[in-house]
């Protein structure tokens, strides 16, 4: 198999910076794949892409030096196996709230005897070669999302599941679960983030989170080591707002928030 840059960053103890694809476009994927990021994630949960869109996007991501990544719509083995068979090397799994749910996510990314992934590497077998089936378990990255109060309460149980190298915080859902609006700076939101990072340190798991280029340094300072710093829809929206404001001689309202 080709190297997995995301796992290489994890092994080296270096921060991994990533991009996010909400628009169903292989051109957007190609642009982001060649931007020097460590991973690029196709968002099949809240993004606008379906699986049929994701296949050419994964083909575009393969051209770059990043880890082709997909966030699946839910913790369901069928779609997890499908994005892996199509060429994803890392899978982000939303709303993992317990050890049992985490174990299910990991099982879906692993062939027997370590898991229950069905064999059928439709595209990835051609891309990665005949040795894929024997190497995939050691190279595919399963990244459960920790984004609710329940998940924070169960963090030690989640992080001790074999096969979990990293987790990913959805700050919007976490804030909502704690009773706040997305974008909250409430003390208990930051306390929850600290609880997650501290637990990751105890168990040797990489903490990841949604961020922006402007907030990346703050996230790094808090101990996160997998940080999404750019998104196609955000970049397009902001560039257009800035251009319109510049042309009109006004100040545009620019947002750096994806969700």
Which residues belong to the active site? 46
Query: Over the Cα atoms of the chain, what is R_g?
Result: 18
- Tell the burial category of 39 from Cβ atoms under 10 Å away from its Cβ (0-12, 13-18, 19+): buried
Contact (CB, 8 A) for 167 and 159: yes
How far is the CA of 40 from the CAs of 20, 48, 126, 216, 227, in angstroms? 6, 16, 21, 16, 11
What CA–CA distance (Å, rounded) separates 186 from 190? 7
The residue assigned the tokens 């379906």 is 50
- Tell the burial category of 50 from Cβ atoms under 10 Å away from its Cβ (0-12, 13-18, 19+): exposed
DSSP string, 116-185: -PPP--TTHHHHH-TTHHHHHHHH-EEEEEE-SHHHHHTHHHHHTSTTB-EEEE-HHHHHHHTTS-TT--
Contact (CB, 8 A) for 133 and 127: no
């Amino acid at each position: 198999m080709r190297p997995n840059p995301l796992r290489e960053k994890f092994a080296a103890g270096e921060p991994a910076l990533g991009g996010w694809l909400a628009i169903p476009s292989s051109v957007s994927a190609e642009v982001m794949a060649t931007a020097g990021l460590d991973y690029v994630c196709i968002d099949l949960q809240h993004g606008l892409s379906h699986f049929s869109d994701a296949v050419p996007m994964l083909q575009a991501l393969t051209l770059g030096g990043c880890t082709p990544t997909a966030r699946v719509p839910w913790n369901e083995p069928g779609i997890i196996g499908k994005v892996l068979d199509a060429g994803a090397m890392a899978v982000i799994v939303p709303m993992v709230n317990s050890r049992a749910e985490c174990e299910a996510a990991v099982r879906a990314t692993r062939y027997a005897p370590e898991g229950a992934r069905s064999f059928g590497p439709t595209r990835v077998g051609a891309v990665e070669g005949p040795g894929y089936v024997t190497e995939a378990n050691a190279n595919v990255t399963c990244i459960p999302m920790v984004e609710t109060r329940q998940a924070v309460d169960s963090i030690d149980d989640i992080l001790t599941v074999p096969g979990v190298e990293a987790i990913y915080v959805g700050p919007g859902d976490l804030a909502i679960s704690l009773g706040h609006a997305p974008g909250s700076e409430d003390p208990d939101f930051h306390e929850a983030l600290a609880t997650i990072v501290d637990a990751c340190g105890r168990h040797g798991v990489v903490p990841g989170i949604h961020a922006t280029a402007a907030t990346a340094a703050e996230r790094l300072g808090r101990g996160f080591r997998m940080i999404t710093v750019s998104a196609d829809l955000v970049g397009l929206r902001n560039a257009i707002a800035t251009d319109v404001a510049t042309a009109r001689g006004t100040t545009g309202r620019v947002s750096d928030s994806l969700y």
